[in-house]
Chains A and B, each alone.
Chain A
Amino acid sequence: MNPPLNDTLRQVAEETFESLAFMFAMPEDEDADDEQIAWVGASVEFVGPFTGTVAIALAEPMLSELTANMVGADDPSDVPPEQQTDGLKELANVVCGNLLPALAGAEALFDVRAPVLLDRGEIPEHVDGLNPASRIRLCLDSGPAEVALFTPEPIVVVAETL
């Protein structure tokens, strides 16, 4: 894994969760048992100066709260299931859209595809035969989340600041 890439992915992901869904990063829980978690996830492909996929997954119970916070609903149970998954896809879209200029600079031109739900909920070990260039775990106040970047090319972070 690439430490500057991990740092950039973490910063973008944390800022997106915070500003889009009012979910805040907490200190890592060393005793967390991810084996027991049911995940729900989405991914988004991009093409441009480099190609790849950004995938994001979170604990399934967080999903209704995520979307309720995004749309300003008082009660998460009021958010219909299709809108909940729509919120997750939008989260993946925003993370990807903010990650790419943070990695490649503001002049780089990428085409970002429509986000899709991950078949099995969790982020797979490989996407299109690729290992993740970066994969991070977030401990949020609402529960755990994971974010990964899959790309065939080595990534050099060129943007100095986010």
Chain B
Amino acid sequence: MALNILVVDDSSVVRAMIVKCLGLTDIPIGEVHQAGDGQQGLNVLGEHWVDLIFADINMPVMNGEEMIQHIRAQAQYDNVPIIVVSTEGSQTRIERLEKQGVRFIHKPFAPETVRDVIREITGVCHEPSA
């Protein structure tokens, strides 16, 4: 099963880093959508089905926490895996996010970390060719 993925971050560099990391893993990837803030992320979700969301916290227009609350309020997305990629250092805020079923990856991160977290929360790994 190939994963359709949404990457939400106001930094084009961070989005590029995450997409690059996805390409370095052996996880089958379908469509990769990108958004520059939480509202744009919600707009993408309204138009495309995704299996996994990467999100930043500090973003203009709508921040990551607000976006995640909106996503969790939608029945079709209340269980979609969300990975927050952030420099956030406050354990208080991280625990608050984790209570919403969110996994956390701290910046800076290694591609292996992205791969391992995706495998862990989706159960998807490399599909060997026949």
Contact = CB atoms under 8 A, between A and B. Distances in A.
Interface of A: 16, 19-20, 67, 70-72, 82-83, 86-87, 89-90, 93-94, 96-98, 100-102, 106-114
B11 A90 contact: yes
Interface string B8-32: 0011111011001000000000000
Contacts of A111: 58
A97 B87 contact: yes
| Dominant secondary structure at the A interface | helix
Given A109-B93, A114-B58, A93 B87 contact: yes
Contacts of A89: 11
A92 to B, nearest CB: 10
B119 interface: no
Given A19-B108, A72-B20, A112-B58, A97 B86 contact: yes
B45 to A, nearest CB: 23
Nearest to B94: A106
A109 to B, nearest CB: 5
A15 to B, nearest CB: 8
B107 interface: yes
Q: Which of A16, A72, A98 has the most CB of B within 10 A?
A: A72
B64 to A, nearest CB: 12
B88 interface: yes
Contacts of B87: 93-94, 96-98, 112
Given A16-B108, A97-B107, A112-B58, A90 B93 contact: no
Nearest to B58: A112
B76 interface: no
Nearest to A85: B13
Contacts of A110: 89-90
B91 interface: yes
Contacts of A97: 86-89, 107
Nearest to A106: B91
Contact of A90 (B13, B60, B89): B13
Interface string B38-69: 00000000000000000000101000000000
